Chains A and B, each alone.
Chain A
Amino acid sequence: MDIELAKEDEAFRAEVRKFIAENLTRELSDKITVGASAERSVLRGWQKFLHKRGWIAVNWPTEYGGTGWTAMQKFIFNEEMALANAPRLSPFGLSMVGPVIYTFGNEDQKKQHLSGILSGDTAWCQGYSEPGSGSDLASLKTKAVRVGDDYIVNGQKIWTSYAHEADWIFCLVRTDETVKQQAGITFLLIDMKTPGIEVKPIISIDGLHHLNEVFFTDVKVPVTNRIGEENKGWTYAKFLLVNERTGIAGVPESKRSIVRIKELARKERLGDGGALVDDPAFRHKLSEIEIKLMGLEFTNLRILADAAAGPSSSTLKIVGTEVQQSLAELAVEAVAFYAQPFQKEQLLGTSNESPVGPDYGVATASAYNFGRAASIYGGSNEIQRNVIAKAVLGL
């Protein structure tokens, strides 16, 4: 174990900072500071900068456009991006389906899809969950029947985040009903423009549109859009879930939240006029979360150094989402009264007026409310505990 930063790493950090200083506009970082969601076009612009620099796919192998960075470089990069309030890129292509395609896809599929994922020109969404199949994902029923060179897909997905903005969806479908559930699932890539796909919005707790239902009626999908073998989809799906859960842990984002909460605690006043940072109870809570996060961060470094040494992705998911949720709670506590106004235009970034209360207060309650979902998506935390009990502890 060597925790000193080497000279090259210091130089690398300087290089990242320089890039950020030159490319991350105030428009972008301000939006993230306020907590509002950046517009899609703005996000794409940011992805383009990173792509041009060759810094888009931090964890991908170099042959597919990855960075080839050391564990330490990845860590430094993620940290600098988070601390500078760089927008978080959509994970569906870069962290989820991209690695599935370069690991299990054929050459044509790699050619067709990887460059669009890297450039951000193609937006993806995840078609796993169904109304009857949430925690029990393997029971999924959306059916694909082979007819010549196509699959004909019928069924419904639900909770599909950003399906309304996606060009492609990666989908788990049932191709065999006669075998054990896990052994009859196939992984398909489906163009969202294919006839027979209908997307219906689900409005969520924050009053905004992130989620959807996606209906498939006789949707024709070329067999060439299948990843790997028929009925082997569960293997690829699980590979993806491990990446998804590790991503959901969101260590860099939580580090950013801590910085943000510290800043606002310097500005916020207590009832008697003192600064919130000077309140021992507040500091105590913040420290406890910060320590938990530090443990998680070092664990991530350990995994980067030696994947085999790390705990399961389930542990990362549980701890990471707990940290996120307690930070969101603490932010609401810190902003207190001004967390409560609901300002939709401010949240969407479409208002020209100044917000009610301080600008950093605008999204705190919505972030807390919607953030409760982190213990549900990617497999609920109860399910992750079941996984640990069974797979890690043998109970």
Chain B
Amino acid sequence: MEFGLSEDQRLLQDGVGRFLEEQSPLEKVREAADSNDFVPRGLWDGIRELGVPGILVPEDFGGMGLGFLDAAIINEMMGRHVAPVPFVGTSVMAPIALTLAGSEAQKQNWLPQIASGDAIVGVGVTERIGVRENAGVIANNGKLTGKALFVIDWSKADVYIVADRDNCLHLVAPDAAGLSSHVLNTIDKTRSVGELVFDNVEAEPLPGANVNIVARMIDAGRIMLAADTLGAGQMMIEKAVIYAGERKQFGRVIGSFQAVKHLCAEMTAALEPCRSLVWYAGHAMDEVPDDASLMACHAKSHLSEVGRFVARTSTEVHGGMGFTDLLGLHYWFKRIGLDRQLLGGPEQVRLEAARLQGWAA
């Protein structure tokens, strides 16, 4: 067992990280957020050149054919730089659905487009986690009726993949008759979420879909959101440490007060072990299938809690500055906030973990 990243993985993560650092500084993020642009052209083109959208797409279909740990460490960089680009839906959950459940023709049609970044795919599976009032999608003679909430990577989607109540998966064209689609502005303005309402909408089923495939999509999505929080949290710690080393009060830098040092140290002590948890969860998706669902739950719920702690503590270290739009710390704060709720909040996810271990009905 080798508990660490390979040389290739390190290079991959550094490459994406460096690209985002250079091409997606806070001003760019702000620009995209202010104009509700969730697929900013220049940035997305660069992401495509790096091959990121095809990370999980098999090589036969033009992708990189890499694993979930690779995807997780990329998502970590996305969180670190609050990157306003599609990923969890388009580049992770959609390829799983198509690869495992799609017909040959569907794969031929969509996977290469996903790999090249030509297709954005919105993914609606939230109702498979917990049904909210009058949400949920029913398929009847190949037509969909109902409502899908919190569709991930909703903006500018070329196609949606939606799970119905029987765990069948469907491809839906954004301009399908009877489909109405609304943006859902969330506190996090760097990622797009939307709502789909179906009134007898024509859809194309993925023939191989079943409950396990939907579960795998959700597991993978959860690990990615955990990785996102890991990256965002890491950045919030670094920002707090830098600020503590610059800001002066009482004639000295605030980082010289033990109370402030300990806030920073506690954040570090809380977040660092999470890295291993997320890595192992990604690794389990590829190599230890029996552990995968449980690890996905653990990573998601634990990172939600630690992420919240880090977000509020880093804000505390920044004093009044932490609350300003100008400094922009809130982009990370809110990214962590949305990560927490997408694909199940920690309370829900812990319940699932208990069930997986046979402790709860």
Query: B-contacting residues of A (Cβ < 8 Å)?
Result: 129, 132-136, 139, 158-159, 202-205, 207, 211, 269-273, 279, 281-282, 325, 329, 332-333, 336-343, 356, 365-366, 369-370, 372-373, 375-377, 380-382, 385-386
Contacts and interface: CB of A to CB of B under 8 A. Distances in A.
B319 A135 contact: yes
Interface string B336-358: 01100100110110110000000
Contacts of A341: 184-187
B142 interface: no
Contacts of A381: 316
A281 B346 CA distance: 12
A203 B325 CA distance: 5
Nearest to B133: A269
Sort A-B residue pairs by CB-CB distance and give the 9 closest, nearest first.
A271-B130, A203-B325, A136-B249, A205-B330, A340-B186, A382-B259, A136-B250, A342-B187, A159-B320
Given A204-B325, A270-B130, A340 B330 contact: no
Given A129-B320, A281-B347, A381-B316, 20 more contacts: A132-B248, A204-B323, A207-B325, A211-B323, A271-B131, A271-B351, A329-B308, A336-B345, A337-B149, A337-B345, A339-B341, A340-B186, A340-B188, A340-B337, A340-B341, A342-B189, A372-B315, A372-B316, A382-B260, A382-B263
Interface residues of B, number: 48
Nearest to B188: A340
A385 B257 CA distance: 12
Contacts of A356: 184, 195
A278 to B, nearest CB: 13
Contact of A342 (B185, B347, B350): B185
Nearest to B185: A342
B280 interface: no
A338 B330 CA distance: 19
Contacts of A340: 186-188, 193, 337-338, 341
Contact of A282 (B130, B333, B347): B347
B347 A134 contact: no
A325 B131 CA distance: 28
A332 B334 CA distance: 13
Nearest to A204: B323
Contacts of A372: 312, 315-316, 322-323
A248 B13 CA distance: 45
A369 B348 CA distance: 22
Nearest to A205: B330
Contacts of A207: 325
B165 interface: no
A377 B250 CA distance: 17
A203 B33 CA distance: 15
B132 A337 contact: yes
A106 B352 CA distance: 67
B131 A273 contact: yes
Contact of A376 (B132, B187, B251, B322): B322
Residue from B186, B344, B350 having most chain A Cβ neighbours under 10 A: B186
Interface in B152-207: 184-189, 193, 195
Contacts of B319: 134-135, 376, 380
Nearest to B350: A281
B242 to A, nearest CB: 18
Contacts of B341: 336-337, 339-340
A44 B260 CA distance: 41
Contacts of A325: 312
Contacts of A332: 337
A135 to B, nearest CB: 5
Nearest to B351: A271
Contact of B185 (A343, A366, A369, A370): A343
A376 B320 contact: yes
Contacts of A132: 248
24 contacts: A134-B249, A135-B250, A136-B251, A203-B326, A205-B324, A211-B324, A332-B337, A333-B347, A337-B126, A339-B341, A340-B186, A340-B193, A340-B337, A340-B341, A342-B185, A342-B187, A366-B187, A369-B337, A372-B312, A372-B315, A376-B320, A376-B322, A380-B319, A382-B257
A333 B341 CA distance: 9
Given A336-B345, A372-B312, A382-B259, A365 B337 contact: yes
Contacts of A380: 316, 319
B163 to A, nearest CB: 15
B259 A203 contact: no
B129 interface: yes
Contacts of A136: 249-251
Contact of A158 (B193, B320, B337, B345): B320
Interface in B279-326: 308, 312, 315-316, 319-320, 322-326
A211 B188 CA distance: 21
Contacts of A272: 130, 351
A356 B308 CA distance: 24
Interface in B228-273: 248-251, 254, 257, 259-260, 263
